[in-house]
Amino acid sequence: MASLREASPLARTTLAFVAVALVCALFADLAVTTVNPYQELVRLLAGVVTPDFYATDNLGSALAYTLAFALLGVAFGNVLGFGLALLFFSRIVRTGCAFVRAIHELFWALIFLQIFGLSPLTGILAIGIPYAGIIAKVYAEILEEADPAPLRAVPLGSGLISTFLFARLPDAWAHFRTYSMYRLECGLRSSAVLGFVGLPTLGFHLESSFSQGRYSEVSALLILFYVVIASMRLWMRKPLLPVWLVAAAAILPWGLTVSAANMLRFFTHDIVPYPLRAPGGDTLAALGDWLHLMLFEQALPGAAATIQLTMVALVATGVLTMFFFPLVSPLLLGRWARGAGHVFLVVVRSTPEYILAFVLLQLWGPSMLPAIVALSLHNGAIIGHLIGRFTETVKLRPDASRGIDRYVYEVSPRIYRPMMALLFYRWEVILRETAILGILGIATLGFYVDSAFADLRFDRALFLILITAMLNICVDAISRAIRARLRLQTTLKHR
Amino acid sequence: MMTMRIRSVAAIYAVLGALSGLLPGAGAAQAEPFVFTAIPDEDASQLRTRFDKVARYLARTLGVETRYIPVKSYAAAVTAFRNGQVQLAWFGGLSGVRARAMVPGSRALAQGAEDRAFVTYFIAHESTGLSESKSLPKEMAGKTFTFGSKGSTSGRLMPEFHIREAFGKAPEEIFSRVGFSGDHSRTLALVQTGAYQVGAVNFAVWERELKDGKIDPKRVRVIWRTPPYPDYQWTIRGDVDERYGNGFAQRVKAALLSMKDPDLLDSFPRSAFIPAENSDYEPIRKTARSLGLID
C-alpha cells in the first residue's frame, strides 16, 4: 500500500478535502425534523402527475415577466460585460467585476428593492449587474485565448478599432454567442428565483403554492419552467432577438415611480452604520458595540456555517458526479439507458438549487441536510453531464475490460483530473449559493442578511453582504491557486 | 430564402408597432391611481383574492382608480410605503410603527375592532402532551418552536417578548430549534403536522381556520393566550391630500370606517373598522425597542 507521502498531489488534495468535509459533517445539523416526511413526499409525487394549469392567478403574466426579466437582464449584462471585457487589463475593472459577481442575484435584488421598489429596474439590474461581472471575465478569457494568427496578418499602421473588429472579434464571436445562450438559460433560472423575494415571476407563485402544499399547482409551474428552458433554442433566434427585447420592455409595468431622492437616501443614510447617524451619545463606543454585535453574533457564526455547508456540499457533489456521469457515458451504458440518464440530469440541473433546497426543506424540515442534498444534486448533475460528454472523446483499447472493472480501472482514472478541475471551478458557485440558502432558514450568512432586511436595517444587511462577497473572493483565489498548483484546467467549453 | 426571412421579421415588427399603440401609458396621461398594499400575513396566493375586492370597494367609494399590489414580505410592504409606491397600507402593529417612523407625516387611520385587544395564541402539537395553562408553560423548554414572519407583531414581537419575560433568556437558548415559518397559515400547518412542536399564531387566523374546519383539535391545541395588545391598522402617507385633493385622507378614513359588507371584512378577518391614532401603538414601539428590533 502506498503511503500518503508517496501519493500524488491530486490524491492528497482529494483526501484533505474529504477529511475537512467529514469533520464539517460531524458537527452539522443533519436531522429530518418533519414527523411524516414520506407521507408528504407521496402527496408531492401525486401532485407532480396531476398538474393543474388553471390554479394560479396571473400565470400568463408570471411567465411573461420571468422571460422579460431574463432577456433584458442578460442583454444588459452582455453589453456591459462586453465593454468591461475590453478594459479587463485594468486592475480596477478586474477587481470591480470580481466584487459584483461575488454577490448573488438574490442579494442584489434585495438591495435594489430598497432603491427602486417593485419597479422593473430591480429585476433587470439584479440579473444584469452580477452577470456583467461574470460575462466580462469570461469574454476577456475568450479574447485572450483567441487565435493570434489574424493579428499577425494585420498591416502595420492599422487603427486600434479596425484591428479589433477584423482580427480579434471574428474568432471570438462564435464563443460569445454560445456563452450568451448559456447565460440566458442561467438568466431564466435567476429570474424565476427572484420571485421568492417578491418580483412577479414564476418563483412568486411557486413559493406560495408550495408552502401551502398545493402540489398540482407546483407541478404546473415547474413544467412550464422546464418547457421554457428546453425550448429556448427554438425561439431564441438571432433575427428575433430585437423583437423579444422590445416585447420584453413593453410588457413590464414601468408605471411605478422611481425617485432620485430614494436613491440618494439609500446611499447617504440607510446604509451608514446606525451609530454614525444616531443623534447624540458616544458615537465611537456605540460604533464599537455595533461592530462587535455584527461580527461576533452574526458575521462569524454565519460565515462558519456557510463554510461548513459549502465544504460538505462540495465533496458530496464530487461523490454524486462519480455516480451521475456514467448515466450519459457511451463507454458505460447503452443508448436507451443513456436517454433516460439525459432526461434525469437535464431535469436536475435545470432546477435552480434554491428551488430544490426549498422543496427538500418543506419535506424534511429545516436542517443542513436539505441544503447539502440540493446543492450536490444540482452541481453533481451539471458536472456529471460535462464529464459524461467528455468520455465521448475517450478511446479505449478494443480489449478493454467491461462492466464495473471498466468503470473503476479504465474510465474513472481518465476523468478524474477534468472532474476535479470542474469541481474546484464550481466551489465558489456553491459557496455563493450556500450563503443564499440562509434566506430559507438555514443559519448561513443569508439568514442574517434576510433578518436585517426584515428589520429594515440596511446598514446591517450591507455589512453582511460585504462579508459574504469577501468570503467568496477568498475562496475563488484559493481555488485558483489549487488549480494552478495541480495544473487542473477547464476548457472554454466546460464553463 | 434571405428575403423571406427579412420579410417575416419585418412583418413581426409591423405587428408589434401596431400593438404598441394599444399599450397602456402610450396614450394621454391619466390621473394617478391610488395604490395600496397589505402585509402578507396569510396564505400569499390568496392575497389577490382577498384584496382586489377591497380595491374595488375603495375605487367605488372614493371615485379614484384604486389598485392593490401584492408584496412578498412585511419589509417589502414598508419599503413600498416609504418609497411612495403605495399611499395606503394594511400594516401589523410593528410594521406600522416602522413605516410611520420612516415616513414623517404618515398616520394610522383605522384599525379592526379586534385590534384594540389583539392576542397571540401559543399552540402545540398533541405529541408534546402540553395543555392550556394560565401562564406560559415552562415545559416548552427544549422543544422545537416556530415564530411566524420575522417582522410580525403577533407572530414574532409579542411571543418573543413573553418568552423572554417568562424564561429570562433568548428563544435560541430555550428551544432546541427556532424557526420562522413566514406567515400564520404556515405556522398552523407546521405545528399541526408536527414539523415544529410549538408555535405562536395570530388568534384571528386561528379562530377563522377553526371555524372553516381546517384545524384538527385532536392534533393541535392552544396552550397559552397572551395578554391583549394593539395590532393591525390602516396607515396613510401624509402627502395624499396634496396628490389626490384636499381632505382625501379623511375620505379614505370614512370609507374604511363605513365598510360593512361581511364578505369584505372577512378577508381581513375583522368584524368592523374603528378609528385609530399613531399614539395607540406606543406600547408596540416600546416593546420592539426593548427587544432590539428597532433602533
- Check which CATH number belongs to the domain holding A252 and give it: 1.10.3720.10
Q: Is B84 within 8 Å of A453 when comparing Cβ atoms? A: no
Q: Which residues pair with B273 in a beta bridge?
A: B112
Which pLDDT tens digit goes with each residue over A100-142?
Answer: 999 999 999 999 998 888 889 999 999 999 999 999 999 999 9
- In chain B, which residues have their Cβ closer than 8 Å to the Cβ of A57? 45, 48-49
Are A159 and A298 members of one domain? no
Tell whether A39 is covered by a domain.
Answer: no
Of A58, A51, A147, A130, nearest to A96 by C-alpha is A130
Return the residue of B nearest to A206 by Cα.
Answer: B45
Return the residue of A nearest to B152 by Cα.
Answer: A454
Q: Burial of A455 by CB count in 10 Å (0-12 exposed, 13-18 middle, 19+ buried)? A: buried
pLDDT number for residue A108: 97
Are A349 and A482 members of one domain? yes
Residue identified by cell 400568463 is: A60
What does DSSP assign to residue B135? S
Task: Please tell me the distance from the alpha carbon of residue A196 to that of residue A201, in angstroms, as a whole number.
Answer: 8
Cell output for A277: 447617524
Minimal Cα–Cα distance from B26 to chain A, Å?
10
- In chain A, which residues have their Cβ closer than 8 Å to the Cβ of B16? 243, 246-247, 250
Query: Which DSSP string corresponds to A88-115?
Result: TTSHHHHHHHHHHHHS-HHHHHHHHHHH
- In chain A, which residues have their Cβ closer than 8 Å to the Cβ of B83? 117, 259, 262
Are A209 and A136 members of one domain? yes
A vs B: CB pairs below 8 A: 110
Residue among A35, A198, A250 minimizing CB distance to B72: A198
Of A43, A62, A47, A378, nearest to A203 by C-alpha is A62
Tell whether A401 is covered by a domain.
Answer: yes
CA angle (B15 as vertex; B11, B17 as ends), nearest 5 = 115
Task: Please tell me the distance from the alpha carbon of residue A381 to that of residue A237, in angstroms, as a whole number.
Answer: 27
What does DSSP assign to residue B91? E
Q: Is B150 within 8 Å of A451 when comparing Cβ atoms? A: yes
Tell whether A35 is covered by a domain.
Answer: no
- In chain B, which residues have their Cβ closer than 8 Å to the Cβ of A271? none
Minimal Cα–Cα distance from B132 to chain A, Å?
23
Q: Burial of B241 by CB count in 10 Å (0-12 exposed, 13-18 middle, 19+ buried)? A: middle
- Residue span of the structural domain in which A440 resides: 1-30+277-495
Residue among A208, A278, A365 minimizing CB distance to B44: A208
Instruction: Tell how strand B220-225 and strand B88-91 pair up.
Output: unpaired
Are A359 and A480 members of one domain? yes
Cell output for A342: 439525459
Which helix (H) or strand (E) segment holds residue B95: the answer is: helix B93-102
Q: Which of A217, A238, A270 is the last residue of a domain?
A: A270
pLDDT number for residue A257: 64
pLDDT number for residue B23: 42
Q: Burial of A281 by CB count in 10 Å (0-12 exposed, 13-18 middle, 19+ buried)? A: exposed
pLDDT number for residue A5: 63
Residues (pLDDT < 50) of chain A are: 492-495
Instruction: Tell how strand B34-38 and strand B66-68 pair up.
Output: parallel
pLDDT number for residue A345: 94
Are A252 and A288 members of one domain? no
> Top-level CATH class of B119-225?
alpha beta
pLDDT number for residue A310: 97
Residue among A212, A243, A259 minimizing CB distance to B185: A212
3-class DSSP assignment, residue A161: helix
Q: Is B44 within 8 Å of A247 when comparing Cβ atoms? A: no
Residue among A196, A214, A243 minimizing CB distance to B12: A243
Q: How many domains does chain A have?
A: 2
Sign (positive or negative) of CA dihedral A398, A402, A408, A409: negative
Are A379 and A237 members of one domain? no
The half-sphere exposure of B251 on its side-chain side, counting CA atoms within 13 A, is: 15
Task: Please tell me the distance from the alpha carbon of residue A228 to that of residue A240, in angstroms, as a whole number.
Answer: 16
- In chain B, which residues have their Cβ closer than 8 Å to the Cβ of A209? 45
Minimal Cα–Cα distance from B140 to chain A, Å?
17
Are A294 and A381 members of one domain? yes
Cell output for B2: 434571405
- In chain B, which residues have their Cβ closer than 8 Å to the Cβ of A292? none
Q: Which of A215, A244, A270 is the last residue of a domain?
A: A270
- 3 state SS for A65-92: HHHHHHHHHHHHHHHHHHHHHHCCCCHH
Return the residue of A nearest to B84 by Cα.
Answer: A257
Are A186 and A107 members of one domain? yes
- In chain B, which residues have their Cβ closer than 8 Å to the Cβ of A255? 24-25
Sequence-separated (6 or more) residues with CB below 8 Å from residue A86: A164
Which pLDDT tens digit goes with each residue over B231-264?
Answer: 999 999 999 999 999 999 999 999 999 999 999 9
Q: Which residues pair with B145 in a beta bridge?
A: B178, B198
Cα distances from B52 to residues B41, B42, B68, in angstroms, run: 16, 15, 6
Task: Please tell me the distance from the alpha carbon of residue A365 to that of residue A32, in angstroms, as a whole number.
Answer: 6
Return the residue of B nearest to A265 by Cα.
Answer: B83
Per-residue confidence in pLDDT tens, chain B, 295 aa = 444 444 554 554 444 444 444 444 333 345 689 999 999 988 777 788 889 999 999 999 999 999 999 898 999 999 999 988 899 999 999 999 999 999 999 999 999 999 999 999 999 999 999 999 999 999 999 999 999 999 999 999 999 999 999 999 999 999 999 999 988 988 998 898 888 999 999 999 999 899 989 899 999 999 999 999 999 999 999 999 999 999 999 999 999 999 999 999 988 889 999 999 999 999 999 999 999 999 8
The half-sphere exposure of B219 on its side-chain side, counting CA atoms within 13 A, is: 15
Strands laid side by side in the B233-236 sheet? B66-68, B34-38, B88-91, B233-236, B107-112, B273-275
Residue among B9, B79, B127 minimizing CB distance to A239: B9
Tell whether A384 is covered by a domain.
Answer: yes
For chain B, where do the domains classified as CATH 3.40.190.10 start and end? Answer: 34-116+230-290, 119-225
Are A106 and A226 members of one domain? yes
Q: What is the largest CA-CA distance in chain B?
A: 84
Q: Give me the interface pTM, i.e. the ipTM.
A: 0.85
Are A352 and A419 members of one domain? yes
pLDDT number for residue A3: 62
Query: Is 3.40.190.10 the CATH number for B34-116+230-290?
Result: yes
> Taking a C-beta distance cutoff of 8 angstroms, is the pair A432, A425 a contact?
no
Q: Which of A210, A245, A270 is the last residue of a domain?
A: A270
Sign (positive or negative) of CA dihedral A471, A473, A474, A476: positive
Amino acid at B239: D
Say how many C-beta atoms besides its own lie within 10 A of residue A154's C-beta.
15
Q: Is B294 within 8 Å of A209 when comparing Cβ atoms? A: no
